[in-house]
Amino acid sequence: MILPYILEIVRQKWRILSIILALLLLNVILGAVISVYQRPLLSELQSKWSNLRHQVARSGKVDAVTLYQQGSADLETLNAAIPEKRYFARVLSDLLETAAGNAVEIGTISYKPVQLKEEKLLSYQLSFSANGSYAAVKSYLADLQDNPELLVVDTVSFANNDLFVEKVTMNLLITVYLREGV
């Protein structure tokens, strides 16, 4: 009874039914590929990734002795970069020579010494202006940051009073650290 109706539907809609059947077959094939091939591969890759993360996390951990030795070596390097108080004139001269080497004119330099009692250090806060072309002033600032002594550029401000002339004024506040010495 129902069979003739089903055959008539198949005869009239065979194109749509064949597309539905093809999509259904494709869905079954893709499901099999996912369950047989991709899920095990994904599980294996996740396991490898997790193991690599654990290795990286463990490699960053250092035992206390090694950490102490590394810290001591770093402190020695830092202390070697701090000149004694008697070399303040040389440090100041180096700043001026660096400026001359970059074709920068240095204005009046003022400084204020501050005693750091807990570290037996002196800090000199230098305040001055540097004038020159933008490229020269920028190069001077880069050279200051590469200075081998313990020198910190605290503040920098730029000014250009004439828009038609490339002359920049850079106002600097620098802290130079010195060890108390003979």
Report the CATH number at residue 175: 3.30.70.60
Q: Is residue 159 part of a domain?
A: yes
Total tally of structural domains belonging to the chain: 2
Say what angle helices 2-12 and 14-33 make with each other, to 10 degrees: 90
Residue 82: helix, strand or coil by DSSP?
coil
Distance between CA atoms of 140 and 97, rounded to whole angstroms? 10
Residue 76: helix, strand or coil by DSSP?
helix
Mean pLDDT of 168-175: 92
Q: Is residue 9 part of a domain?
A: yes
Q: Is residue 76 part of a domain?
A: no
24/113 same-domain check:
no
- Kindly list the distances between the CA atom of residue 114 and the CA atoms of 52, 100, 122, in Å, as whole numbers in the listed order: 50, 28, 6
Give the domain range for residue 91: 82-179
89/139 same-domain check:
yes
pLDDT of residue 182 exceeding 60, the answer is no
124/165 same-domain check:
yes
Place of tokens 């194109």: 15
Please, how many CA atoms are within 13 Å of residue 142, restricted to the half-sphere of its CB? 8
86/175 same-domain check:
yes
169/125 same-domain check:
yes
132: left (phi over 0), alpha (psi -120 to 50) or beta: left
The pLDDT value recorded for residue 46 is 93
122/173 same-domain check:
yes
The answer to whether residues 138 and 160 touch, using CB atoms and an 8 Å cutoff, is no
The pLDDT value recorded for residue 62 is 66
Of the pLDDT bands very low, low, confident and very high (cuts 50, 70, 90), residue 57 is: confident
170/91 same-domain check:
yes
Q: For the chain, what percent of residues have pLDDT higher than 70?
A: 97
119/157 same-domain check:
yes
Q: Is residue 64 part of a domain?
A: no
Of the pLDDT bands very low, low, confident and very high (cuts 50, 70, 90), residue 66 is: confident
Distance between CA atoms of 141 and 88, rounded to whole angstroms? 20
Amino acid, single-letter form, for residue 112 = K
Q: Is residue 7 part of a domain?
A: yes
In the structure encoding, which two tokens stand for residue 161, read together? 């009073």
Q: Is residue 75 part of a domain?
A: no
The pLDDT value recorded for residue 10 is 79
